[in-house]
Structure 1
Amino acid sequence: MIEDDYLYTKGGIKGFGAKMRKFFGSGRFWLRAFAVIVVLCLIYYPVGMLMVQKIDDNPDFSGDYQGGSHAVATAIGLIDREVNQHQWTANDPFFMPGSALDNMPNFQTGIIYALSRFSIELSDQIGRARGSSQVDSDLDNAAGVLKFRGDKWVFDPSISLLPGVSSEQQYRQAIAALRRYNERLAAGNAAFERRADNLQETLARFSNDLGSASALLDNKVAHPSVFDTTADDVFYATKGRLYAYSLILRDLGTDFENILNERQVSQVWAEMVASLQAASQLDPIMVINGSADGIILPNHLAGLGFYLLRARTQMNEIISILQR
């Protein structure tokens, strides 16, 4: 008991606990801990953002064509590149560096949006023998999952505390569905109607989509502000959309080469693709929504809109020729 009393009163079990309480209970400890966390965050997020950030606007990108449709192969490759090869950042939770990015997520979601439109046209027009024929199940599946929002992480407490389906999982389903379709197409077991009316209708839908994108740009340009914190969001979302369209239309030109040559629109088609590529290659250091006639503080959205409208004009010219 004497020994126990000694341990108890002279720095044994009780003494150790008292020291720990004194150490952790002191304001100095928590102040230092907070300072360490702040320093780590100041290193973790900027360095992580630099490592993750990748706006891949390679104009020469193409999919792994193994027969079927060149445009479908490129769509598969684009989704795979952004989801599996590059990190999908639009749904990164707060503890990942990608959550602090906004240009790359908007660029990626712009790409997926354009590919969603393309998948819908495949399902409704090009991938059906006639309008009254059955919808291809793989194309229908791809069109559905590509509509899924890009900011859904595996956990969404607003819906359920249990794990759910993330954006990446949905987009990987689209890859699998489009790949199955293209494999069946290469084997002669799927439809890909290379008709002028199909191409004309597809271009008309794309033109309408570009019209909605131009309206969004116009709304920004009409209200210039160098302190506009969402100008870069609109810029990169539109850039991603135009980038995807430039690749898909480039390869649709290959898929419909005979139609383009027959209607003598190959030159206009190439000019349309070039306009979309020019828009997708705009890469300002900082996106500024300045005055449309500004010199020091220009309006990058207006520049993007110029190429968009030029491409849309060329697209409408092709539509007009195909309708004759």
Structure 2
Amino acid sequence: MLNSIVDVFTRIFGTIGRGIGWLAVWLAWPFAALGRWLMRRGWIARCVVGGIILLVLGLYAYFFWQTQLWTGFNPDYVQAYRVEGRDVSAGSQMAATGQGAGAPVCNRSAIADVAADLTDFNVNQNAWISSMLLYKLGFFGLSWDDTPFFDNKASFQRGVNQAVRRTAVELVDALGRVRGTSQIDRDLQKARESIQFSEDAWYFGLSPFGPKTPTPSFYRTAITSLRAFNDRLERCEAVFDARADNLIQFLGRIASDLGSTSAILRERSENFNGGWFDTRADDRFWFAYGQLYGYYGLLHAARADFSEVVTQRSLGSLWDATEEQFRAALDITPAIVSNGREDGWIMPTHLATMGFYILRARSNLVELRQVLDR
């Protein structure tokens, strides 16, 4: 009986070994053929081809380095803003300090600052992965998103960018104007247009055919525009409408955005139980993680920008609990994302876990809205 079991496992592992061998031969065949072709050519052809190979290897080394190095990543990044004690809403004129009457000074928008800094984190402190040439080329024509390799950072960046995009829309439509009837702020409008640009544009494209401005250039324009708005706001030359109904709408937009992501995670978790072998599970997980990472900072900033509303409605404790839910989700950083069955006992289900944290955070946002709406 024991010998039969051993034989079965021996055949299984033998078959796996032969499969790996065939795969290695298939992958090595083009390089072997290229080597035989070069052996029949002169030194000029060898140098040209060798230079091309070195260039490709260098590009892949740079691509590997950029996808694995997460510069500036810090789940506790909100602490650097030190806005907890702010008691004047964004856009409100601050009391003069010192002697003499100088130019008026208004409070900056922490939301605009955080949105600009998150974008700076995406495209200046790190390379924007989604528009890199080798990311667009994929793995032998297969999209990196369909593989378990080199796509976690790209998905995380897109999640952060989703939070900034949603915020830019709210800044233009509601927060940066008076009751929606005043003129749209020019800097916020430019920021929204720039941050909405395609996430995967390189210097050249096929549809439409021709040269293009790459994605990071547009996002850097958004950073400049957001900071220009805040500089004007500080000089009391711009508007930030810190009313309770605007805060209700902003929280509602965040809750709706997170609800959509929760549905995506649920669909993948329920219909694809591949465990560690689900090659799209990591994309869904890290997009959701990036979204929570971005909204954590923006929610922290919103408390400062709407400080008078938060104080008047006694939202301090509930707001703290909401931020704690966002921060707790950022502690989930698995080395390999697994999409196992929810009742399984071998492979974990990271998608369901992330979905649970998103729903908890969303529930707190809904409660905040309900208290504000009373």
- Counterpart pick for 1:177 among 222, 225, 228: 225
The 10-residue stretch of structure 1 (181-190 or 95-104) with the greater mean CA deviation from structure 2 = 95-104
Question: Any conservation in 1 of the 2:130–2:136 contact (CA below 8 Å)?
Answer: no
Q: 1:165 aligns to what?
A: 213
Q: What do the CA deviations read for 1:28-79 (whole angstroms, capped 9, x no partner)?
A: 9999999998899778736751454234541332587995111211111111
- The question of 1:193 aligning with 2:241 is answered yes
CA 1:211–1:35: 2 relative to 1, 3 Å: same
The 10-residue stretch of structure 1 (250-259 or 62-71) with the greater mean CA deviation from structure 2 = 62-71
For these two proteins, the number of residue pairs brought into alignment is 301
CA 1:272–1:157: 2 relative to 1, 3 Å: same
Question: Within 5 Å, which residues of 2 pair with 1:200-239?
Answer: 200-223=248-271, 224-226=273-275, 227-239=277-289
Structure 2 segments unaligned to the other structure (5+ residues)? 1-36, 84-105, 139-143
* Amino acid aligned to 1:281: D
Higher Cα Rg: structure 1 or 2? 1
Q: 2:321 aligns to what?
A: 271
- Counterpart pick for 2:173 among 124, 146, 170: 124
The 10-residue stretch of structure 1 (289-298 or 230-239) with the greater mean CA deviation from structure 2 = 289-298
Tell me the SS of whatever aligns to 1:90: helix
- Counterpart pick for 2:109 among 44, 69, 76: 69
Identity among equivalent positions (%) equals 36
Question: Any conservation in 1 of the 2:60–2:134 contact (CA below 8 Å)?
Answer: no
* Amino acid aligned to 2:64: M
Determine the C-alpha separation between the residues in 1 that align with 2:264 and 2:191: 27
Determine the C-alpha separation between the residues in 2 that align with 1:153 and 1:84: 16
Determine the C-alpha separation between the residues in 2 that align with 1:34 and 1:41: 11
- The question of 1:91 aligning with 2:140 is answered no
Question: Within 5 Å, which residues of 2 pair with 1:139-154?
Answer: 139-154=188-203
CA 1:24–1:39: 2 relative to 1, 3 Å: closer
CA 1:131–1:44: 2 relative to 1, 3 Å: closer
Deviation at 1:300, TM superposition (A): 0.4
Question: Any conservation in 2 of the 1:143–1:174 contact (CA below 8 Å)?
Answer: yes
Q: 1:45 aligns to what?
A: 60
CA 1:120–1:43: 2 relative to 1, 3 Å: closer
Question: Any conservation in 2 of the 1:45–1:97 contact (CA below 8 Å)?
Answer: no
Determine the C-alpha separation between the residues in 1 that align with 2:69 and 2:38: 42
The 10-residue stretch of structure 1 (124-133 or 36-45) with the greater mean CA deviation from structure 2 = 36-45
Tell me the SS of whatever aligns to 1:222: helix
Please tell me the root mean square deviation across aligned C-alpha atoms, in Å: 3.1
Question: Within 5 Å, which residues of 2 pair with 1:252-267?
Answer: 252-267=302-317
Determine the C-alpha separation between the residues in 2 that align with 1:185 and 1:292: 49
Question: Any conservation in 1 of the 2:129–2:135 contact (CA below 8 Å)?
Answer: no
CA 1:95–1:137: 2 relative to 1, 3 Å: closer
Question: Any conservation in 2 of the 1:123–1:135 contact (CA below 8 Å)?
Answer: yes
Determine the C-alpha separation between the residues in 2 that align with 1:52 and 1:37: 22
Question: Any conservation in 2 of the 1:46–1:97 contact (CA below 8 Å)?
Answer: no
- Counterpart pick for 1:298 among 334, 348, 355: 348
Determine the C-alpha separation between the residues in 1 that align with 2:365 and 2:227: 28
Deviation at 1:96, TM superposition (A): 9.6
Q: What do the CA deviations read for 1:227-276 (whole angstroms, capped 9, x no partner)?
A: 21111011111111111000000111111122112111111111111111
Tell me the SS of whatever aligns to 1:156: strand
Question: Any conservation in 1 of the 2:67–2:151 contact (CA below 8 Å)?
Answer: no
Q: 2:119 aligns to what?
A: 79
Question: Any conservation in 2 of the 1:75–1:115 contact (CA below 8 Å)?
Answer: yes
Tell me the SS of whatever aligns to 1:293: coil
Q: 4+ runs of 1 displaced by more than 6 Å? A: 27-44, 63-66, 95-100
